[in-house]
With several copies, the nearest count.
Chain A
Amino acid sequence: MSAELYQQAIKALAQAAHGAGRLPAASASAKLDNPLCGDRITLDVAVEDGKIIAIGHDTRGCLLCRAAASWLGQAAPGATRAQMAVAHAELLALLKQDALDTSAVRESLLPFSPVREHKSRHGCVLLPFQALEQALTDPQAG
């Protein structure tokens, strides 16, 4: 079970660290931490005409958290807010739905599915998505 948790796809995502580093020209930022485990992310986003054009993040967290941030760094640029909200919903479904149903979840998120079984780690994966959502809806000064 845990072996799958740290499957190659996740390790590669974390390693790649897409979007790592702060964004100098951010239109919005959010800083979020998980007080229960100490993971912390500062996420910047640049939005133009309702579209995310760039994303940057400074992530201090576990492999799962870094993989999730990296996923965003790859997927968010070019996407609309609505599209990212849907991605967040897919991830939530993947982790929290009573029964695992991957039919509605995009393939690139599936490597996160073993996290389902580890409730204490859900927060790690969700934190970057929550930070993006907060930056888009309730931005703080970067």
Chain B
Amino acid sequence: MSFDLQATRAEFPLLALAKPPLHYLDNAATSQIHQSALQAMADHDMFRRANIMRGTYRLAEAATTAYEEARARVARFLNAFTPNEVVFTSGATSALNLVAHSFGESLRSGDEVIVSLAEHHSNLVPWQLLRQRTGIILKFLPVTADGRIDATALAGLATSRCRLIAVTHCSNVTGAVTDIAAIVAAARSVGARVLVDGAQQVQHGPVDVQALGIDFYAFSGHKCYGPTGIGVLWARHALLDAMPPFLAGGGMVGEVTPEGSTFARPPQRFEAGTPPIAQAVGLGAALSWLTTLPWGDIRRHEQRLLQALLAGLARKPGVRILGPTDLEARHPVVSFDIAGLHPHDVCQVLDRHGVALRGGHHCAQPLMQHFGLDGANRASIALYNSLADIEALLDGLDDVIEVLR
């Protein structure tokens, strides 16, 4: 199978229906949803809607089966050891908070957690709050001049008190892919666990958590062509099994009396209340579709667009690219500054050209500080983008400069 760009675009209702055509380059914020996910959710709600787990009638069985099949699909996408390692959450942020609370409960004052300066706020602020609650020491892995996480600095940073290293798989600002192997090696040498924030990785293909050798992986459905309202925490089952519950309520208990409660085993222990059932089914459909795609072709396609974008930006006056300017170990997410022009103004004018770009701090203020900026423009490419999208952006930027200067 080879990658057919036009056919693929047609499978995204918003892109297919947009008039005038939309050059959607804000995929790092949210990707468009694939029709398989939309269809799976509608089918679920129209033919199999019931609460899961405890119903014995056929409709409830069908709903439970669909939900657990979605879990199995996530497990296949991540190459998890078993579906029981897959916890459905409402998004990457809630998955990360789950770890900060449940795994975090085992940490003591003086224990260390290391995060990088390139983290999204969702993988930073939960650890700051844990620091407030328990007195852990939060250390920061520096980034290189072009914004890459500097894994070599771990040698001087990780001590025997280090319990967890939590880093992003791919930066939502620079597109840089983290050297997870180096992180894992350093973590293992001090006995620390490794959490990887995969929010920006999963839209670029299946992940192999076993090969990565990590302990926790988190991502959101809405950034990988699936629905909003759903996310995933993957973790080694033995780790999950040792963790206390976080949210409490129906479906995660054993015996409940006024005096106290016992808890179910993972993953149920971490899925309190009625989960996002239809959304899990939608995510399962999107990931199944992703699993079948010709990723070699798609990577080449994405790199071609990335190259055109980097080259085009380099030619514009006053443009500074944040992060790596080469094609090595990165995904097609490019942030840039235009001297004297505020990103919100830039993106506003680009909108006139049908180009959807995001400007701001991208929920990564420490990284912005590193670059000496309050915010930046960001173009982020998904598999359905075309050279025409890149050209519209580059042409639009000429107009931006004319209008705003």
Contact = CB atoms under 8 A, between A and B. Distances in A.
Direct contact of A and B (CB under 8 A): yes
Interface of A: 1-3, 5-6, 11, 33, 35-38, 40, 60-64, 118-121, 124
Contact of A37 (B54, B65, B255, B404): B54
B374 A6 contact: no
A37 B360 contact: yes
A6 B349 CA distance: 9
Contacts of B345: 6, 62-64
Interface of B: 53-56, 60-61, 64-65, 253-255, 264, 268, 342-345, 348-349, 351-352, 360-361, 374-375, 403-404
15 contacts: A2-B348, A2-B349, A2-B351, A2-B403, A6-B404, A33-B255, A35-B253, A35-B254, A38-B361, A62-B342, A64-B344, A119-B61, A120-B54, A121-B56, A124-B344
Given A35-B268, A120-B61, A62 B352 contact: no
B264 A35 contact: yes
Contacts, number: 60
A113 to B, nearest CB: 16
Given A2-B349, A38-B360, 12 more contacts: A2-B351, A2-B352, A6-B403, A35-B268, A38-B375, A63-B345, A63-B404, A119-B61, A120-B60, A120-B64, A121-B56, A124-B344
Contacts of A60: 374
A89 to B, nearest CB: 19
B21 to A, nearest CB: 18
A69 to B, nearest CB: 13
A3 B54 contact: no
A73 B389 CA distance: 41
Contacts of A2: 348-349, 351-352, 403
Contacts of B56: 118, 120-121
Contact of A63 (B53, B342, B360): B342
B64 A119 contact: yes
A121 B65 contact: no
A121 B344 contact: yes
Nearest to B263: A35
Nearest to B262: A35
B245 to A, nearest CB: 12
Contacts of B54: 36-37, 120
A60 B255 CA distance: 13
A38 B61 CA distance: 17
B348 A36 contact: no
A3 B404 CA distance: 9
Contacts of B375: 38
A62 B64 CA distance: 20
A35 B261 CA distance: 11
